[in-house]
Chain A
Amino acid sequence: DAGVIQSPRHEVTEMGQEVTLRCKPISGHDYLFWYRQTMMQGLELLVYFNNKAVMDDSGMPKDRFSAKMPNASFSTLKIQPSEPRDSAVYFCASSSRGRGGSYNEQFFGPGTRLTVL
C-alpha cells in the first residue's frame, strides 16, 4: 500500500494568496484527519471527516480555512487568504473504523510544509 499521500510536500507563497493542500487517504479508510504542527502550538486537529462528512471542525479557523472531501479518496484543505501565521506543517491522516466502535490506528502522511511570506 502506498500509504497516505499528500501534495505538495513544500509550498511557499505570499500573504494573501490562496493555498490548496491535497490528501489521498489509504484505500478503505473511513476517517480522514487534518492536523497542523507548529513549534508554538504543537500538533492541533483542524478537522476530521467520517465517510466524507465533516464530524468536527472546531479546531479550524473558519474565516479563512475550508476543508472538503468530495469523494472517499481525496480531500483538500484550502486557505484563503493566507497569512504568515499559517506557516506550519500540515498533516493528513486516515484510519478505518474499528469493530464495536473501537479505536483504529491513524496513519499519517509525510506532511506539507507551508511557508507564507
Chain B
Amino acid sequence: GNSVTQMEGPVTLSEEAFLTINCTYTATGYPSLFWYVQYPGEGLQLLLKATKADDKGSNKGFEATYRKETTSFHLEKGSVQVSDSAVYFCALSLITGTASKLTFGTGTRLQVTL
C-alpha cells in the first residue's frame, strides 16, 4: 500500500538555524507530494507541493525536492523563525480516476526558540 514516513519529533532549533525534516514515501504509481503545516489550534494548510520527479516546491522560505530515486521529499529552510513553530505533515496523493486521496505521515513538531 501507499505510505509516508517522517522523522520523529519534536525538532527543537534556535532562531535562524537550518531546518531539515526528512520524509520518504512508498507508492504504487507516480504520486504527487505535499507538505502541510498545522499551527496550534488550527487546521492544516498546504505549504508546498511537487507533482513530478525533480520538481522543487517552495513557499515562505521552505523548499522540498521530489526525488524519485530515493523516494524522498525532505523539507528544508535556511533560517527558521519562532513563527515557524508548528507541526509539519508530509503527504502523498495518487490519482485514480477522479479520486485524489491524501496519505499523511505522522507529523513532525518543530519548536523554534529565541
Q: How far is the CA of A4 from the CA of B44 in the complex (A)?
A: 11
Is chain B's interface secondary structure helix, strand, loop, or mixed overall? Answer: strand
Q: Among residues 60 to 102 in chain A, which have CB atoms less than 8 Å away from a CB atom of chain B?
A: 91, 93, 95, 97-98, 101-102
- Residue pair B43, A101 in contact (C-beta under 8 Å): no
* Closest partner residue, chain B, to A110 (CB atom): B43
A28 to B97, CA, bound (A): 20
Size range of the chain B interface in the assembly: 20 to 34
In the bound assembly, the distance between CA atoms of A104 and B32 in angstroms comes to 10
Residues of chain A with a CB closer than 8 A to B88's CB: none
Given A48-B101, A56-B101, A103-B51: A91 and B89 interface contact (C-beta under 8 Å): no
B20-60 near A? 1/0 per residue, CB < 8 Å: 00000000000010000000011111100101000000000
> Known contacts A108-B43, A108-B44, A110-B43: does B100 contact A103 (CB below 8 Å)?
yes
Q: A50-B98, A103-B51, A108-B43 are in contact. List 7 more A-B contacts (CB 8 A).
A: A45-B101, A56-B101, A98-B100, A102-B51, A103-B49, A108-B45, A111-B43
